[in-house]
């Protein structure tokens, strides 16, 4: 099949009794051609049937008669040693070739494919550098594009000669809507003459590949004639080739054309296909625009327009559109009227869709697009029987799909999994293993119902190309589990970056590959030990820590993973302070992202440690002070680095907080990193009351470069981490920012304005509006010193204990503190009163 043939081909035939074979030129995927072929074969009753297609598929013809074979399907040929180099020959229910095969197998008539063997076609594609993958009919996709520029579209040329501007409309008028005549061969004779005239005018198309294919077809035709007699042979092929098959060419000339063709070893089988892949816009060069519409025309026993519009009405009702029987009746009348006005014998797709838009869709193209997607194109997925040849991996996948009740479907659908259920957990493992193998049947999606780790959401959609991916993955093993294990081990050894190995470890846990995980962990440990780049270590840690959660949900042992994660975290703690010194703007922004990722990972690692998961010295389940390493800083790189070295404070979270505090006070640390660390410490509740304002005051002091100060602000209140609300509720911080900004020189203001606008533009509109109101009413005009000493407007200088105590019982209930607020209130006086006062301050602040 060629790109031009798929666009539309007409026919030429030699009637039986004329001293030659019956040549039935067709339009591939044309329902009119399919009906005409069936009628011609019923009339001629040939003894053998030759069909355009690869001869390697001769042994697969009998499968077309099995009950489990449901079109659309495709013949798939792939190189044995390189399954990725493949070609498809799609067939739909309304394809003339499929109708001819069905006719032959039901009557016991031999069927032979006569096109150039796939062994030569795929080898030629490699030799000519036209790309490994081919699309449709053995025609390399790149070559199909070249053919468009040198070969005419026969259907378009005939339509233009008849005065039509749309070849599809012309084909419908002269073929699909043509009343059946008594002569079954008349349509082939009439259209064949036109095709012959086109080849006389434009030549054979001008491409060497057609000459090779047609030479092989003539050789196959001669062999069939010698065996069954000329009048016992019927040929179903693209009409473009019919004049070439009638051409008088010597056997020696044809053999000379085929001499020396390269050859590779190929395997062939049937695979499911879809209507969507038959459509031209999907990338199949010999496709059609409306496979769903053509399928309807072929299968409708009578009144096709009425049945089509009724089907559309049913689809719209399913989508909650108000469509009644009156709409259908009115749409049929309008379609008939449009056909009369446009001079057409019957309404075609254009008239019916115009009527649907006007009557059922009320002029809107939105529901019309749904109709086009679901019905005009369609999501029909074919089926092939189990007896069809397949690689062992495909058979194992089919077995798993049936056991887990995961039927491949062409229409995209969402699948919600609860990993606490055995069947859902097995489905999750299968989908993750297929993703490891590059078989993208399912893609993870965001869960809408729950954020727990026991929930997974997948989007499933089976594409015909996945059959090729399965064949490609067959080199890794004969089962999905074995192939995924081998592929993961190979990917671990060949991974380029540490983050790739940690991501692979996470995927191995998701896919539950117990044999591959030790190999991945050895590679991970080796890479982590040799990699001195703190950025790489920081990138690797989050995925590694996330993987520790899967032990709870999936029952996977993560002890070794926990040890590696703890060791990686310690190396980050040691290397991060010197790595944050002397960074430019881009490097500082990247380092801020690393700090955020490590902070989240450490938080999760601390939770796992407190719950007793994992193992290893100083890791989950160990006492706080046991096995705590001494972290050595780099002198002069940051401020209070020595505080990291204290062995008294236990736990990974405590060590991380000391690293952050050292970064906050580091003079050589980039402003955006210092600001971010201060914000993280404040969110953790580590900074004492007013200490955040002190750090901000130091960062915004007159001696600090304006650009560096603006970067500190971005790190502290930027990044969408609630910084806007922080300024709204703490007017001391807002006043510091405002005072600094009003004191910046005009030249410096121009430099820092883009950075500040980027920071504040990330806030919600309501937050920005509130900040503007606060500044407008004068909150930001007070000096930072006044804000530090006098407090924010609207608040007293000191806390009123009685009024605060009155709110404590309610706040305790809201916050789940039980009776703690009563104990705090009873202990006023002396040092205890100071502690209670700070508690009340925090409660009031939360309120």
pLDDT tens profile 750-765: 767 777 777 777 677 7
User: Both tokens of residue 434?
Assistant: 């297929």
| Mean pLDDT across the chain | 75
Nearest to 313 by CA among 298, 297, 330, 300: 330
β-bridge partners, 415: 458
Among 291-295, 485-489, 843-847, the least confident range: 843-847
Give the C-alpha separation, 536 to 497, whole Å.
8
Across 526-591, the runs of DSSP E, i.e. the strands, are none
Question: What are the two backbone dihedrals, phi and then psi, of residue 415, each rounded to the nearest 5 degrees?
Answer: -125, 115
Give the C-alpha separation, 578 to 589, whole Å.
16
SS3 letters for 44-77? HCCCEEEECCCHHHHHHHHHHHCCCCECCEEEEE
* Higher-pLDDT residue of 391, 295: 295
Query: Looking at residue 809, what is its pLDDT?
Result: 85
Give the C-alpha separation, 457 to 437, whole Å.
20
Average pLDDT over residues 58-75: 91
Please state whether beta strands 48-51 and 233-238 pair in parallel, antiparallel, or not at all (unpaired): parallel
**All structural domains of the chain with their residue ranges:** 3-73+90-117+152-251, 300-377, 392-480, 529-663+672-686, 688-797, 801-846
Average pLDDT over residues 820-847: 38
Query: Residue 676: CB partners within 8 Å, gap ≥ 6?
Result: 592, 595, 596, 715, 716, 719
* Higher-pLDDT residue of 23, 793: 23
Residue 833: count other Cβ atoms within 10 Å of its Cβ: 12
Query: Residue 195: CB partners within 8 Å, gap ≥ 6?
Result: 9, 10, 11, 12, 25, 154, 239, 240, 242, 243
DSSP for residue 89: E
Please state whether beta strands 111-113 and 48-51 pair in parallel, antiparallel, or not at all (unpaired): parallel
Q: State pLDDT tens for residues 713-754.
A: 777 777 655 566 777 776 667 777 777 777 767 777 776 777
Q: Would you call 700 exposed, middle or buried from its count of C-beta atoms within 10 A (0-12, 13-18, 19+)? A: buried
Query: Looking at residue 63, what is its pLDDT?
Result: 92
User: Both tokens of residue 727?
Assistant: 């300024």
How many helices (H) does the chain have, and how many strands (E)? 39, 10
- Report the percent of the chain where pLDDT is more than 70: 75
Q: Residue 236: enclosing H or E segment and its boundaries?
A: strand 233-238
Average pLDDT over residues 85-104: 91
Give the C-alpha separation, 160 to 360, whole Å.
33
User: Both tokens of residue 620?
Assistant: 């989950």
* Higher-pLDDT residue of 838, 688: 688
Contact 176, 297 (CB under 8 A): yes
Contact 49, 97 (CB under 8 A): no
Give the C-alpha separation, 327 to 336, whole Å.
14
Residue 28: count other Cβ atoms within 10 Å of its Cβ: 30
* Whole-structure pTM value: 0.64
Residue 138, pLDDT above cutoff 50: no
Query: Looking at residue 47, what is its pLDDT?
Result: 93
- 3-state DSSP assignment of residue 453: coil
Question: Residue 785's pLDDT band (boundaries 50, 70, 90)?
Answer: very low
- 3-state DSSP assignment of residue 413: strand
What separation in angstroms does the CA of 344 have from each of 7, 178, 351? 21, 11, 10
Contact 360, 313 (CB under 8 A): yes
Q: Residue 270: enclosing H or E segment and its boundaries?
A: strand 266-272
Q: State pLDDT tens for residues 497-516.
A: 777 887 888 888 888 888 88
Residue 832, pLDDT above cutoff 50: no
Residue 607, pLDDT above cutoff 50: yes
For the ranges 66-70, 465-469, 602-606, 646-650, the one whose mean pLDDT is highest: 66-70
Residue 452, pLDDT above cutoff 70: no
- Report the percent of the chain where pLDDT is more than 90: 22
User: Both tokens of residue 671?
Assistant: 């402003």
User: Both tokens of residue 765?
Assistant: 């509109």
Question: Residue 2's pLDDT band (boundaries 50, 70, 90)?
Answer: very low
Residue 216, pLDDT above cutoff 60: yes
Residue 408, pLDDT above cutoff 50: yes
Give the C-alpha separation, 158 to 247, whole Å.
22
Residue 214: count other Cβ atoms within 10 Å of its Cβ: 24
Query: Looking at residue 840, what is its pLDDT?
Result: 34
* Higher-pLDDT residue of 103, 179: 103
Query: Looking at residue 485, what is its pLDDT?
Result: 92
Residue 129, pLDDT above cutoff 50: no
Question: What are the two backbone dihedrals, phi and then psi, of residue 231, each rounded to the nearest 5 degrees?
Answer: -80, -5
Torsion of the alpha carbons at 592, 593, 599 and 605, rounded to the nearest 10: -150
Question: Residue 186's pLDDT band (boundaries 50, 70, 90)?
Answer: confident
Contact 752, 706 (CB under 8 A): yes
Question: Residue 177's pLDDT band (boundaries 50, 70, 90)?
Answer: low
Among 48-57, 353-362, 474-483, 835-844, the least confident range: 835-844
Contact 29, 265 (CB under 8 A): no
Question: Residue 627's pLDDT band (boundaries 50, 70, 90)?
Answer: very low
Among 9-23, 537-551, 608-622, the least confident range: 608-622
């Amino acid at each position: 099949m060629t790109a031009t043939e798929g666009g539309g081909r007409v026919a030429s035939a030699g009637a039986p009794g004329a001293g030659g074979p019956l040549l039935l030129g067709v339009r591939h995927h044309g329902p009119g051609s399919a009906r005409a072929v069936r009628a011609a074969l019923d009339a001629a009753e040939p003894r053998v049937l030759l069909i355009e297609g690869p001869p390697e598929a001769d042994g697969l013809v009998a499968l077309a008669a099995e009950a489990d074979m449901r079109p659309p399907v495709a013949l798939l040929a792939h190189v044995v040693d390189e399954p990725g180099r493949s070609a498809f020959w799609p067939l739909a229910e309304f394809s003339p070739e499929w109708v001819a095969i069905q006719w032959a197998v039901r009557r016991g008539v031999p069927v032979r494919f006569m096109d150039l063997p796939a062994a030569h076609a795929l080898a030629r594609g490699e030799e000519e550098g036209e790309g490994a993958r081919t699309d449709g009919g053995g025609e390399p996709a790149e070559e199909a594009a070249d053919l468009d520029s040198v070969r005419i579209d026969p259907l378009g040329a005939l339509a233009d000669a008849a005065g039509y501007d749309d070849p599809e409309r012309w084909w419908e008028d002269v073929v699909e809507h043509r009343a059946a005549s008594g002569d079954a061969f008349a349509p082939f004779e009439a259209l064949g003459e036109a095709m012959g005239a086109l080849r006389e005018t434009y030549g054979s198309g001008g491409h060497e590949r057609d000459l090779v294919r047609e030479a092989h077809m003539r050789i196959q035709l001669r062999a069939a004639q010698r065996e069954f007699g000329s009048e016992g042979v019927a040929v179903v092929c693209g009409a473009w080739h019919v004049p070439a098959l009638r051409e008088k060419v010597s056997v020696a000339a044809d053999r000379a054309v085929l001499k020396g063709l390269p050859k590779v070893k190929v395997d062939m089988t049937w695979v499911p296909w879809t209507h969507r892949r038959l459509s031209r816009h999907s990338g199949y060069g010999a496709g059609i625009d409306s496979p769903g519409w053509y399928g309807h025309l072929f299968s409708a026993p009578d009144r096709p327009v009425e049945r089509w519009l009724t089907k559309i009405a049913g689809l719209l009702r399913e989508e909650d559109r108000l469509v009644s029987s009156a709409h259908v009746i009115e749409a049929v009348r309008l379609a008939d009227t449009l056909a009369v006005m446009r001079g057409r014998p019957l309404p075609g797709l254009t008239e019916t869709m115009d009527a649907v838009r006007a009557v059922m869709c009320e002029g809107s193209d939105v529901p019309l697009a749904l109709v086009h997607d679901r019905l005009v194109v369609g999501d029909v997925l074919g089926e092939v029987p189990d007896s069809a040849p397949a690689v062992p991996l495909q058979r194992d996948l089919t077995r798993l799909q049936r056991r887990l009740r995961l039927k491949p479907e062409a229409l995209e659908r969402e699948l919600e999994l609860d990993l606490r259920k055995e069947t859902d957990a097995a489905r999750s493992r299968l989908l993750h293993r297929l993703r490891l193998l590059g078989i993208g049947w399912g893609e993870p999606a965001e869960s809408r119902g729950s954020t727990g780790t026991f929930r997974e959401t997948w989007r499933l959609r089976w594409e015909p190309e996945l059959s090729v991916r399965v064949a490609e993955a067959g080199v890794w093993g004969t089962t999905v589990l074995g192939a995924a294990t081998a592929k993961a081990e190979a990917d671990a050894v060949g991974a380029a970056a540490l983050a790739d190995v940690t991501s692979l470890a996470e995927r191995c846990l998701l896919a539950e590959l117990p044999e591959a995980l030790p190999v991945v962990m050895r590679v991970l440990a080796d890479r982590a030990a040799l990699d001195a780049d703190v950025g790489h270590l920081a990138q690797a840690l989050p995925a590694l820590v996330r993987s520790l959660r899967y032990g709870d949900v999936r029952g996977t042992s993560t002890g070794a993973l926990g040890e590696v994660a703890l060791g990686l975290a310690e190396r980050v703690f040691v290397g991060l302070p010197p790595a944050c010194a002397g960074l430019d703007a881009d490097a500082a922004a990247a380092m801020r992202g690393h700090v955020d990722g490590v902070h989240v990972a450490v938080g999760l690692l601390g939770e796992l440690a407190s719950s007793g998961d994992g193992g290893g010295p100083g890791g989950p389940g160990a006492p706080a002070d046991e096995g705590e390493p001494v972290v050595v800083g780099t002198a002069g790189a940051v401020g209070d680095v020595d505080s990291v070295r204290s062995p008294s404070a236990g736990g990974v979270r405590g060590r991380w907080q000391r690293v952050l505090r050292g970064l906050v006070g580091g003079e050589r640390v980039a402003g955006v990193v210092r600001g971010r660390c201060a914000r993280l410490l404040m969110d953790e509740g580590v900074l004492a009351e007013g200490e955040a304002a002190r750090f901000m005051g130091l960062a915004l002091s007159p001696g600090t470069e304006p650009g560096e100060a603006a970067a500190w602000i971005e790190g502290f209140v930027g990044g969408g981490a609630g910084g806007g609300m922080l300024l709204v509720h703490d007017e001391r911080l807002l006043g510091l920012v405002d005072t600094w900004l009003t004191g910046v020189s005009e030249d410096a203001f121009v430099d820092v304005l883009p950075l500040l606008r980027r920071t504040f533009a990330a806030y919600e509109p309501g937050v920005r509006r509130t900040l503007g109101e606060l500044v407008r009413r004068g909150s930001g005009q007070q000096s930072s010193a006044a804000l530090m000493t006098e407090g924010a407007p609207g608040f007293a200088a000191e806390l009123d204990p009685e009024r605060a105590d009155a709110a404590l019982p309610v706040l305790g209930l809201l916050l789940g503190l039980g009776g703690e607020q009563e104990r705090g209130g009873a202990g006023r006086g002396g040092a205890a009163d100071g502690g209670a006062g700070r508690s009340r301050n925090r409660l009031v602040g939360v309120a």
